[in-house]
Amino acid sequence: MPVNTPLLDRVTVPSDLRKLPKSDLRQLCDELRAEVVDAVSHTGGHLGSGLGVVELTTAIHYVFNTPKDRLIFDVGHQCYPHKVLTGRRDRIRTLRQKDGLSGFTKRSESEYDPFGAAHAATSISAAVGFAAARDLKAEAGDKSEEDRRVIAVIGDGSMSAGMAYEAMNNAGDRASQLTVILNDNDMSIAPPVGAMSAYLARAASSGSYQGFRNLAKQLTKNLPKRVRDLAAKAEEYGRGMVTGGTLFEELGFYYVGPIDGHNLDHLLPVLENVKDITDGPVLVHVVTQKGKGYQMAVDKGDKLHAVSKFDVVSGEEKKSVSNAPSYTSVFAQQLIEEARKNERIVGITAAMPSGTGIDKFMKEFPDRTFDVGIAEQHAVTFAAGLAADGMVPFAAIYSTFLQRAYDSVAHDVALQNLPVRFAMDRAGLVGNDGATHAGAFDTAYLGCLPNMVLMACGDEAELQAMTRTAAEFDEHPIAFRFPRGEGAGVEMYEAGKVPLLEIGKGRIVKEGTSVCLLNFGGRLSEVLKASEILGARGLSATVADARFAKPLDEDLIRRLAKEHEVLITIEEGSIGGFGSFVLHFLAREGLLDLGQLKVRTMHLPDRYQDQASPKEMYEEAGLMAEDVAKQALMAFGQEPQAADARA
């Protein structure tokens, strides 16, 4: 049902917005909120966070001169209202779809997106960079930008990430304009955790927030005159502001807040006043409600952080149904089985309890579960400490987010050979979250580390076995990767009958003679289909599942190389991964010298792939059954035929 938005229809870009009288902005926000709900009901995506910043986004674009003023969102999942107001309303129903709008801010998409996002806690660092660029250019005589303002919008959950403090520590030391808006909705994906969350909750709920009297007194001593004048005016708003932000003030910020992030009568004067503070950074603490204005979101535990397409009236999501269990649920269940046998097993998540399945583990083992917030570096070195003292830590971190902790993995875990277990969900292409969330690089970035053991499961039964193997393996750090979404629909092992894998040993899934398809990870079902296509063309294909990228099963690969004319490696990972390791081995063994073996490596393309469905992305990557079959046929000098494409 089309949304009736007479005011919003008059706004294409923020300069249109700024022509409206302030008295129209309340209605504008109501229309904007309705548009976001309707759009996401068609596309799916991140709903709750965007609904929580409708007023804030509108006020920022109304007060600041975007795009000249640089507005940088943290994570960027809350940017849908921003995209509607910045010339992208006509495409908002292509959000997260193939060839559509990204679900996050993206430089190449709009001049109103000066910095891309998706991984948390980058906004303040980037904002400090923009502010320093402005200042340096002005000092060098280019005054054209010296009145440009820089604004970062960061959530309370993202404020649990260490990088935010690195940035504030630096910002607080600079006499330069920078406005950091802390969007405090008292939610991460799950309820927020940690001391920082408690601190913000105290500031937002302290008595003086409800009262008001002490604003003038509290602000007088801390803020420039301009904001003090605000204090005098704020009386009429009847809503408290308190300088509860001692932490931020100690870091060199002026602190204003907390203020009601849905009340334009508060937001507008505060932003109008702080925007001209140029002798140091300002942190404006706004309190909002995640999911605001859509009751189904407000009522839901996760505030509809991420939704599938849904019916606006009923709120019912239209989720695809699958008979196979999700890889996440298989991992979680097996970890629980292992933890029942071994009380030293602990589960660790970095603010992703539901996404990693650790929430299920937490239900049975609350005392052995740690949600450390959006703090992957800490999560990994924390796990290293646990392992160093005899515990069995499972750090369940998405492949893409583990990138944030790479030095912790290399320096604290691998170099010290500590038996941390890394359960890397979302390995490979993830679909609608696009390039920022692709779990493309972990095989490369882990496989190069001495001491590291690295596995990838070909199906959900293999994931059961890898989880058990990781639980019982203490000699080295061990990582196993598995795809986002449902398994291949294979038969699972019964509880208690899950096999232990022999470290460094792969398996033959299907015997053949001419060509060997050597799989590592989640492409196995496609590789098996490819072997059928080749069979129909008279080519007998062996399908081998490597299971381990490190250590490689050298005996198996040596045999495969000697018994086949063509060897093709297939992986859901970047260049520099499994295929590279196999090539290194073959070269070192002299198995390429004879000139009898043709080798092809199939991996993700060496570029970033924009969002689409997982299938569309793998088709674009050339990692479907037809692609594998084509590689084999061409290696034999045969041309693929239309008949080779599966129905």
Ligand X SMILES: CC(=O)[C@@H](O)[C@H](O)COP(=O)(O)O
Ligand Y SMILES: Cc1ncc(C[n+]2csc(CCOP(=O)(O)OP(=O)(O)O)c2C)c(N)n1
Binding interface with Mg ion (CB under 5 A): 155-157, 185, 187
Let me know if 376 is a catalytic residue.
Answer: yes
Closer residue to ligand X, CB minimum distance, 352 or 444 = 352
Nearest to 50 by CA among 58, 423, 588: 58
Residue 535 marked as a ligand binder: no
Ligand-binding annotation for 294, yes or no, is yes
Q: Which positions from 306 through 365 interact with ligand Y, judged by CB under 6 A?
A: 350-352
**Given the residues 290, 292, 481, 630, the one annotated as active site:** 290
Which residue from 428, 425, 424, 430 is spatially nearest to 614, judged by alpha carbons? 430
Q: How many other β-carbons are positioned within 10 Å of the β-carbon of residue 129?
A: 16
Residue type, 584: H
Q: For residues 151 and 70, is the Cβ–Cβ distance under 8 A? A: yes
Q: Taking the chain, what is the end-to-end CA distance rounded to the nearest angstrom?
A: 37
Near ligand X in 354-373, by CB under 6 A:
355
Site for ligand X in 437-466 (CB under 6 A): 437
- One of 360, 404, 468, 481 is an active-site residue; which one? 404
Q: Does the annotation mark 598 as catalytic?
A: no
Cis omega (within 30 of 0) for bond into 258: yes
Q: Binding residue per annotation — 156?
A: yes
- Residue 396 β-bridge partners: 349, 423
* 89 given a catalytic annotation: no
158 is in an annotated binding site: yes
- Is residue 461 marked as binding? no
- 599 interface partner picked from Mg ion, ligand Y, ligand X, none, CB below 5 to 8 A per type: none
Cβ atoms of 307 and 294 closer than 8 Å: no
Distances (CA, A) of 444 to 163, 399, 440, 527, 582: 24, 11, 9, 21, 12
Identify whether the C-beta of residue 604 lies closer than 8 Å to the C-beta of residue 572. Answer: yes
Between residues 156 and 486, which has the closer beta carbon with respect to ligand Y? Answer: 156
Query: What tokens does 644 get?
Result: 């080779």
Q: Is 119 annotated as a binding residue?
A: yes
Distance of alpha carbon 599 from its chain centroid, rounded?
35
Quick one: which of 433, 526, 545, 571 contacts ligand X (CB under 6 A)?
A: 433
Looking at residue 317, the DSSP 8-state letter turns out to be: B
Q: Which is nearer to Mg ion, 192 or 269 (CB)?
A: 192
Residue 396 has which token pair?
A: 């369940």
Q: Does 371 bind ligand Y (CB under 6 A)?
A: no
Would you say 280 and 255 are in contact if contact means Cβ atoms under 8 Å apart? no
Site string for ligand X, 47-86 (x = CB under 6 A): ----------------------------x-x---------
CB 164, CB 121: distance < 8 Å? yes
Compute the least distance from the CB of residue 43 to ligand Y, in Å.
18
When CB distances to Mg ion are compared, the closest residue is 155
User: Which residues make beta-bridge pairs with 282?
Assistant: 179, 254
290, 292, 547, 564: which one binds ligand Y (CB under 6 A) = 290
- By CB under 6 A, name the one of 96, 285, 426, 547 that touches ligand X: 426
Q: Residue 183 Cβ, how far from ligand X at the closest point, in Å?
A: 14
Q: Of the candidates 37, 187, 256, 270, which one interacts with ligand Y according to CB under 6 A?
A: 187
Sheet strand arrangement including 369-371: 369-371, 345-349, 392-396, 421-424, 478-481, 453-456, 548-550
Binding mask 373-392 for ligand Y (x = CB under 6 A): -x-x----------------
Q: Which residues are part of a known binding site?
A: 77, 118-120, 156-158, 185, 294, 376
Positions in the binding site for ligand Y (CB under 6 A): 49, 52, 75, 77-78, 118-120, 155-158, 185, 187-189, 290, 305, 350-352, 374, 376, 401, 404
Catalytically active residues, by annotation = 290, 376, 404
